[in-house]
A and B are shown apart, each in its own frame.
Chain A
Amino acid sequence: MSRAAVVLKLSLRNLFRNRRHSLYALATITIASMGLLIFMGFNRGTMDEYRENTIRARWGHGQLYMRGYREKAHERPWENWIESPQETIEKLRALPGVRELFPRVTIPAMIAAGGKAVAGQGEGIDGAAEARFFTRMNYVEGGDLNDRPFAIVLGIGLAQGLGVHVNDEVELVARAGNTALHSAKLTVSGIFQTGVQDFDSHAFRIPLKLAQQLLETERVETISVALSGVRAWPEFAGAANTLLPDLEAVPFDELDKVYYRHAVDWLDAQFAFIEDIVLLMVFFGIFNAISMTVMERTAEIGTLRAHGDSRMEIALGQVIEAAGLALLGGSLGILGGWLLSIGPLSHGIQMPPAPGLTRGLRITIELARDEALRVLGLAVVTSAAGSVLPVWRAMHIPIVEALRHV
């Protein structure tokens, strides 16, 4: 049996020696690990909910523009739009990860109904195709455009401003180029509430062909991309840039910096802060437990040193004890977190609207294996750190002083 094995055996037995102290330390680590894991799961669920909302309500996984188009304002923007969109879409369809492609144009317009007129920022879209992918529009009345040629869907703020409901008629007036004004009478087929107040107050969507007619163009401003998943973006973007160098592929989180990127950064920062507090609790829990252990076993440490144990062997024993507690507590915490996620928290947590949103989200606790391992790692590292000072003390107690200790 190696020396390390002997030290390990003694340390593990010591774990259960003073059960009250060990239980206290174990409970601290277990609860902290469980809390951390659940919070990580909640955070992941929140991020995923935000991400899905962003992707499936507005942007897709990303969009393609003519290179340089987004960097500056254009007097005649449509002159910088994508020519021959169908040909471009056919080429893009062969790229890795592509599920669907959605050509779009932006159309600023005045919308009038019942004597009221409101300025809106709309999009011309392929209603039937987009209905299959953009499933997070959250229609509070009616539904998607689908293939109706003279329909319009409105953000809830815009609809409220106009005082219209589903099946009401509105008149849309848009300027083509710098000259002609064109108008169309449209029937409201749906009213959506994505939750992003700014978007819902101005946004509308009409069929792509109608928008192109009103703008007198055959081009499209952008091609929105639906991929097999978020992770497919880098490969797709690289391939798209190689295949069509005139186009620029922009991911959804760059398109939606204000709503998504900032929210994610804010949540990440908040999470890091809470994580630090939890780890500090673990640190002091372990510090306290190991300090008590060293104090209680001072005479024993003296005996071991008298019989020839080196300072490092004494330190190793204490560190193994702390690590053992951390592994056990961390594992129990992970088990507890998992049980909570499949039990009481399996339906998620209904959250009120976050800052900048007008509707709440139901957040599911999404546990991930790498995060469970991270929790375990953090528990061990924090516990080891918490044991440093008491262990240092144990190493440096003079032997004769330790032997006198009662």
Chain B
Amino acid sequence: MALYEARGLSYRYRLNGHHVDALRGVDLEIKNGEFVAIAGPSGSGKTTLLNLIGLLDLPSGGSIHFEGKDVLNLAERERSLLRRERIGFIFQTFNLIPVLSACENVEYFLLKRKIRRAEARRRALEALDKVGIASQADQRPSDMSGGQRQRVAIARALVREPAVVLADEPTAALDQTTGLAVVNVMKHLNRERGITFIFSSHDPKILTAADRVIQLVDGRILQ
């Protein structure tokens, strides 16, 4: 069974009184354990596709099955629960909570799953260690570099042991060396833990790390 199976996905929105088609009939299948990149120029629909398969938004048409479940028929609350339990996110601008330390950022969502405090702390430190940043566990995001923040974001995404991690341009705010290092961390975790990674990028060097590259142009997948 595929992790994701999307058929005929389309997404239309209004901009200055005109309809814009961000996605036009996208068919997609991603298997468990894949390390997939979505490539394409700006405005090609990469972020929209990640938002839809991340259950952050609803498409204008088509269907999405996640782990065999038709997720578009779920209630808002059920989609929130599914995101909390099964999907991890990494954002271009890291999106860490500034009033929490690196460790607290990672354990925050574990505590919300009613995991005991000591256990949550142990797992958060372990996740930070996996991305090579355990020594900065008590630092706040404002005291960290961009690469360090993104590693915290990766640890945050991974610590809940999701089925898939979606990363929208995770290296765009980083220099190329740091970006490659971050992607290598992701790939290492993919290999080690078998977690599916789907990330978007328009940087050819970053894309070389992917097992499979899905090329998007004008809202369509290039075959």
Q: Does B77 contact A (CB under 8 A)?
A: yes
Q: Are B56 and A6 in contact (CB under 8 A)?
A: no
Q: Mark A96-130, 1 if CB is under 8 A from B, else 0.
A: 00000000000000000000000000000000000
Q: A6-B108, A13-B99 are in contact. Are A1 and B117 (CB under 8 A)?
A: yes
Residues of B within 8 A of A313 (CB): 112
Say yes or no: B114 contacts A3, CB within 8 Å. Answer: yes
List, in ascending order, chain A residues with CB within 8 A of B57's CB. 398-400
**Binary B-proximity of A279-310 (CB < 8 A = 1, otherwise 0):** 00000000000000000000110111111111
Please report which residues of chain B, range 127-157, place their CB below 8 angstroms from some CB of chain A when the two chains form the complex.
156
Could you say which residues of chain A place their CB within 8 Å of the CB of B117?
Answer: 1
Decide yes or no: A305 and B80 within 8 Å by CB, A6-B111, A10-B108, A403-B91 being known contacts.
yes
A308 touches B100 (CB 8 A): no
A contact patch SS: helix
A299: chain B residues at CB < 8 Å are 93, 95
A residues within 8 A CB of B114? Answer: 2-3
Which A residues touch B109, using CB under 8 A?
A: 307-308
Q: What chain A residues lie within 8 Å of B77 (beta carbons)?
A: 310
Q: A14 contacts the other chain (Cβ, under 8 Å)?
A: yes
Do B112 and A13 touch (CB < 8 A)? Answer: no
User: B95's contact among A6, A398, A403, by CB below 8 Å, is which?
Assistant: A403
Tell me, yes or no, whether A17 is within 8 Å of chain B by CB: yes
- Assess whether B219 is interfacial by the CB under 8 Å rule: no
Size category of the A interface is 20 to 34
Interface residues of B in 53-110 (CB under 8 A from A): 54, 56-57, 76-77, 80-85, 89, 91, 93, 95, 97-100, 108-109
In the complex, are the beta carbons of B80 and A303 less than 8 A apart? no
Q: Do B81 and A14 touch across chains, with their CB atoms under 8 A apart?
A: no
Chain A 31-71 residues near chain B, CB threshold 8 A: none
**Most chain A beta carbons < 10 A, residue from B51, B112, B117:** B112
Report A-chain residues with C-beta under 8 Å of the C-beta of B85.
308
**What separation, in Å, do the CA atoms of A2 and B76 have in the docked complex?**
23
Taking a contact as CB atoms under 8 Å apart, the answer to whether A400 and B51 are in contact is yes
Asked if A309 contacts B111 (CB within 8 A), the reply is no
Residues of A within 8 A of B99 (CB): 10, 13-14, 16-17
Q: B135 CB to closest chain A CB, in angstroms?
A: 23
- Supposing A303-B91, A310-B80 touch, asked if A13 and B111 sit within 8 A by C-beta, the answer is no
Q: Select one of A13, A300, A308 contacting B84, CB under 8 A.
A: A308
A1-39 toward B: CB 8 Å interface, digit per residue (1/0)? 111011000100110110000000000000000000000
- In the complex, which of the residues B81, B95, B114 has the most CB atoms of chain A within 10 Å of its own CB atom? B95
By the criterion CB–CB under 8 Å, are B83 and A306 in contact?
A: yes
Chain B positions within 8 Å of A3 at CB level = 111-112, 114
- Report the Cα distance A17→B93, complex, angstroms: 20
Contact of A13 among B82, B100, B156 (CB under 8 A): B100
Residues of A within 8 A of B51 (CB): 399-400
Tell me, in angstroms, the Cα distance from A309 to B89 when the chains sit together. Answer: 13
Which residue of chain B has its CB nearest to the CB of A303?
A: B95
In whole angstroms, how far apart are the Cα atoms of A309 and B77 in the complex? Answer: 9
Shortest 6 CB-CB contacts between residues of A and residues of B? A308-B84, A13-B99, A303-B95, A308-B83, A6-B111, A399-B56
